[in-house]
Structure 1
Amino acid sequence: MTLHNFTDSPDPLASTAHVPIAERPLVADDDRTIISAPDAARSETAAPAAPSPAEHLLHALFPANGISTGEEAGVRIAHFEIRERLGAGGMGAVFRALDLELARDVALKILHPGPSRDPSLVARFRNEARACAQLNHDNIARVFFAGTQGALYFIAYEFASGRTIRDLILERGRLTVAEAVNYAIQVTLALNHISAAGIVHRDIKPSNIMLTESGRVKVVDLGLARRDMDDSIGEITVAGTTLGTFDYIAPEQARDPRNADVRSDIYSLGCTIYHMVTGQPPYPEGTALQKLLDHQGKAPPDPRLINSRVPAELAAILRRMMANLPEQRYQAASLLLSDLMQLAVRLGLQSVPAEGIVWRHRQAAKAPGFPGAAALLGTVLTICATALIMQYFSGSARFRQNAGNATVAALDPRDFQPTAANPGTTPATPAAGTTANSTESGSAAPETGTASDPPLVAANVTPQPAAPTERTPRPPLALLPAPGVPAPFIIPLGLPPELTL
């Protein structure tokens, strides 16, 4: 440029009166300095400057029209290489990326450049990362890494391939009662872990419940979570603002998000279950303001009015979960879990390992109850066999102990001697010590006796029948074992006395 000093002319613009305004030089107000126009008129406009690498990165991640063309593939942020876009929202976008250090897929959540200029939103994003880092549960997406690159803030989450509950509802209209109870139990387990860590999710809804291919539920997106711990960043919610989704927000959370607690998450879960079994939110019509008023002023709707297959037990659970006053709801996630588990048993659901625990219908066996009956029969037979063996050995021991005193039956030869007068009467035996002796002369003389007794003749002596005598009756013969012989084995009709109660 050329500097001209007009010291001689009183009016510096007088010489340029005939020049068009567009071509007149500029005059400084302080030192009468004129900045002249270029000597040669510019015939063509300057070419736009090439975008910087940072601008190119932002355009690839967040296109101006919101439509992804695949430009994000291959973009590197820290040690993550983006593969594809999974979803986007007002606060940012989520991408599937490869962790180059550990060679695993992650869900990379990146904060949008617009909210990145707001310190409160940046603080909320960092709070999300720190809150999730405190959690370690099968039904919660874990945090692997968090950091910044330039003006971008990002969080690397555990990648769970699958679909959200919202996608299932849009595809099928509504879910079965068994499916809803299964997913509700898993989310309740996650809420129980979250509340134990002093964290309130504050945004439970179908789109924040991821369902893996194996059937496991993953609760994601703790962007609105609030921590009650001492090392938290601080309360980043401004009074008078509303955080949450209008279709699932608890009344007290709508009035002031700082008053939300685990009972608020239980309310949002109740609205989500209602949406699962009916195919629509509890209050689907009206503006956002009208929905907030309905949540605060109306009684919880009955899902059976839309879906008659909903059991009365589930309707009662939802009515308590969606009570307007927090005091009327379940006061802890564990209490809700107990009722849901009982309902699962009534529905015939059981826990099935699937990278964790899910609840599904029991598979009917070909022979229902056969394994249990066989086990019971085997137990009964074992007890009976044990009782028989114990009785056998205990009886043998008692017999051997009393064998010396046992009476053995013997046969008396007199019982078989016939008589003329009375064949059934046993003849009298001679008195002890009396004998008949023959002499050479053929006469016999008793060694003992009286003088009046006649002599006995050895030859041709006819025995005289003795007078019948009374005998003591004897018991009939019995077959008794000899000493040292074990008693015969007898099958008992009952348990031995040693085993009776």
Structure 2
Amino acid sequence: MTENRSLEELVEQFLEQCRSGNAPEVSAFAAAHPGHASELLNLLPLVLEMEGLNAEITRRLPHQTSEVPELPDSDYRLICRLGSGGTGVVFEALQLSLNRKVAVKLLSPLLLKDTARRGQFENEARVIAMLHHPNIVKVFGAGCSAERCYYAMEFIGGRGLDQCEFSDPREIARIGLQAVRALAYAHHCGILHRDIKPANLLLDEAREVHVSDFGLAFVLRGGGEIVEKEEARSGTLRYMSPERLAHGVNTFATDQYSLGATLYELVAKSPLLPERNPGELAKRICREPVPPLRCSAPDLAAIINKCISFRPEDRYAGMDDLAADLQHFLNHEPVCAAAPSPARRFRLWIKRKPAVAALGFAAAFCAAAFVAALAAGYLRTTAALNQAERNAAVAAATLSQVFARLAEQLPSQKNTQLLSTLLPITG
């Protein structure tokens, strides 16, 4: 019987139906398999996000294939489609009153009567409208009726980080710092994003990052926590923190973990965990610490590894501390996530103060050259004195021999007395 099938088999069956274009409703599919109903309700939305099937299913809907819908009695004219997600489609549009390009997110008509999804969509617009930061997309307006539900936002002429490649760890740190500062601002406003991933970080043409898609955001006042019910848990499985996936616990540390997983993927050019099977991936996230990142920038790796610590208390105390450490890395200063050796500190100081280091090395070289010159002069002088003493000794010995021979050749007593007087002088 179907109820005797494993959870993995049921998930695979659901995915096959989605891929074939006959996607069933999650609730209906779960109800058809009561033995795993609660697990399916929790897992299937995550599977759709991870597999990218939400967007694929949305693309297959007739109302979104080729035609661009209209927004009657609004200030916006939709031009072309930019992308789609689990709840709707994003269009490039023109704001008529100001003649400026904007992006309009339109809720899927199939979800207009879904009270929960519609409320989530409206909440996203309200949350973004509360935030005013250069690295968070701006909302310009919203509108809802029985036929349409939409909001207009800043047009970012770029792409998600999931479509970008980076070769320089410092560029990743610079981009990461922008995202961290945006999230730090959101956290200070009491907003928890809950769906940080590469696709939700948009990189514009000026290489500036913009945090987008606050569809799952919570208002979290006072730095506490929110616990989700199992059936209401949603997000992107691959970037979920262990405490959120296992227990539904949402704190500001969960955003930090998701951002750490994102930065890990950008540096390593591969996901934090390689498992593709949703069940195996979920078990791995909940039960085991992830393998530490190793790269050519050990301090950046230490920062990212701290963000993805298994226990929330082992991560940074807040986004401000994470931002400070990333800034230390960019400034060639020691980071709090790692304890560098004295040699490492010295190398960082050289990178941080190259001009001072160059002057110091030049002064040390000149001092060494001066000492070497003094030593060489001293050695030359000492050698000359020693040579002079040796020459004097040789001359004295030679002179003694000369006088001795003269004494032998002049045997008279008078000359003998004269030589005996001179010989002591030469000796």
TM-score w.r.t. the length of structure 1 is 0.52
Aligned to 1:186: 178
Q: Does structure 2 conserve the Cα–Cα contact (< 8 Å) formed by 1:267 and 1:323?
A: yes
SS in structure 2 of the partner of residue 291 of structure 1: helix
Query: Shift in Å at residue 63 of structure 1?
Result: 6.3
SS in structure 2 of the partner of residue 243 of structure 1: coil
Q: Does 1:112 align with 2:108?
A: yes
Query: Shift in Å at residue 153 of structure 1?
Result: 0.9
Max Rg structure:
1
CA deviations over 1:411-442 (Å, ceiling 9, x no partner): xxxxxxxxxxxxxxxxxxxxxxxxxxxxxxxx
**Unaligned residue ranges in structure 2 (runs of 5+):** 1-57, 334-353, 360-427
Q: How far, CA to CA, are the matches of 2:96 and 2:64 in structure 1? A: 27
SS in structure 1 of the partner of residue 239 of structure 2: coil
Q: Which amino acid aligns with 1:208?
A: N
Aligned to 2:253: 263
| Larger relative helix fraction | 2
Of 298, 304, 319 in structure 2, the residue corresponding to residue 312 of structure 1 is 298
Cα-Cα RMSD: 2.8
Q: How far, CA to CA, are the matches of 2:167 and 2:72 in structure 1? A: 39
CA deviations over 1:185-220 (Å, ceiling 9, x no partner): 000000100000101000000000001111111000
> Structure 2 vs 1, CA of residues 213 and 176 (structure 1 numbering), >3 Å: closer, same or farther?
same
Q: Does structure 2 conserve the Cα–Cα contact (< 8 Å) formed by 1:191 and 1:262?
A: no
Of 269, 276, 282 in structure 2, the residue corresponding to residue 279 of structure 1 is 269
Aligned to 2:132: 136
Query: Shift in Å at residue 238 of structure 1?
Result: 4.4
SS in structure 2 of the partner of residue 240 of structure 1: helix
Q: How far, CA to CA, are the matches of 1:242 and 1:283 in structure 2? A: 20
TM-score w.r.t. the length of structure 2 is 0.61
Aligned to 2:61: 64
Percentage of identical aligned residues = 32
CA deviations over 1:46-66 (Å, ceiling 9, x no partner): xxxxxxxxxxxxxxx976358
Q: How far, CA to CA, are the matches of 2:300 and 2:284 in structure 1? A: 22
Aligned to 2:307: 321
Query: Shift in Å at residue 303 of structure 1?
Result: 2.5
Q: Which amino acid aligns with 1:88?
A: S
> Structure 2 vs 1, CA of residues 95 and 260 (structure 1 numbering), >3 Å: closer, same or farther?
same
Query: Shift in Å at residue 264 of structure 1?
Result: 0.4
> Structure 2 vs 1, CA of residues 342 and 127 (structure 1 numbering), >3 Å: closer, same or farther?
same
- Count of matched residue positions in the alignment of Structure 1 and Structure 2: 279
Aligned pairs for 1:32-71 (under 5 A) are: 64=61, 68-69=65-66, 71=67
Aligned to 1:87: 83
SS in structure 2 of the partner of residue 247 of structure 1: helix
Q: Does structure 2 conserve the Cα–Cα contact (< 8 Å) formed by 1:94 and 1:110?
A: yes
Q: Does 1:251 align with 2:242?
A: yes
> Structure 2 vs 1, CA of residues 67 and 154 (structure 1 numbering), >3 Å: closer, same or farther?
closer
Q: How far, CA to CA, are the matches of 2:247 and 2:78 in structure 1? A: 38
Q: Which amino acid aligns with 1:252?
A: E
SS in structure 2 of the partner of residue 139 of structure 1: coil
Aligned pairs for 1:143-182 (under 5 A) are: 143-168=139-164, 172=165, 174-182=166-174
Q: How far, CA to CA, are the matches of 2:286 and 2:192 in structure 1? A: 20
> Structure 2 vs 1, CA of residues 229 and 144 (structure 1 numbering), >3 Å: closer, same or farther?
farther
Q: How far, CA to CA, are the matches of 1:157 and 1:194 in structure 2? A: 17
Q: How far, CA to CA, are the matches of 1:163 and 1:293 in structure 2? A: 32
Aligned pairs for 1:454-493 (under 5 A) are: none
Aligned to 1:218: 210
Q: How far, CA to CA, are the matches of 2:110 and 2:227 in structure 1? A: 18
SS in structure 2 of the partner of residue 346 of structure 1: coil
**Higher relative contact order at CA 8 Å, sep ≥6: structure 1 or structure 2?**
2
SS in structure 2 of the partner of residue 97 of structure 1: strand
Aligned to 1:457: none
CA deviations over 1:140-190 (Å, ceiling 9, x no partner): 00111111143221111111111111111xxx4x54212210111000000
Q: How far, CA to CA, are the matches of 1:139 and 1:88 in structure 2? A: 22
Q: Which amino acid aligns with 1:280?
A: S
CA deviations over 1:232-268 (Å, ceiling 9, x no partner): xxx99644332211111111221344x2121100000
> Structure 2 vs 1, CA of residues 125 and 278 (structure 1 numbering), >3 Å: closer, same or farther?
same
> Structure 2 vs 1, CA of residues 77 and 292 (structure 1 numbering), >3 Å: closer, same or farther?
farther
Q: How far, CA to CA, are the matches of 2:98 and 2:60 in structure 1? A: 29
Q: Does structure 1 conserve the Cα–Cα contact (< 8 Å) formed by 2:202 and 2:211?
A: yes
Q: Does 1:340 align with 2:326?
A: yes
Q: How far, CA to CA, are the matches of 1:241 and 1:290 in structure 2? A: 21
Q: Does structure 2 conserve the Cα–Cα contact (< 8 Å) formed by 1:247 and 1:291?
A: yes
**Which aligned segments of 4 or more residues in structure 1 are displaced greater than 4 angstroms?**
73-77, 235-238
> Structure 2 vs 1, CA of residues 77 and 284 (structure 1 numbering), >3 Å: closer, same or farther?
farther
SS in structure 2 of the partner of residue 136 of structure 1: coil
Aligned to 2:195: 203
Q: Which amino acid aligns with 2:79?
A: R
Query: Shift in Å at residue 113 of structure 1?
Result: 1.4
Q: Does structure 2 conserve the Cα–Cα contact (< 8 Å) formed by 1:144 and 1:157?
A: yes
**Unaligned residue ranges in structure 1 (runs of 5+):** 1-60, 348-367, 374-501
Q: How far, CA to CA, are the matches of 1:239 and 1:249 in structure 2? A: 14
SS in structure 2 of the partner of residue 324 of structure 1: coil
Aligned to 2:232: 241
Q: How far, CA to CA, are the matches of 2:234 and 2:316 in structure 1? A: 22
CA deviations over 1:342-375 (Å, ceiling 9, x no partner): 011129xxxxxxxxxxxxxxxxxxxx959x99xx
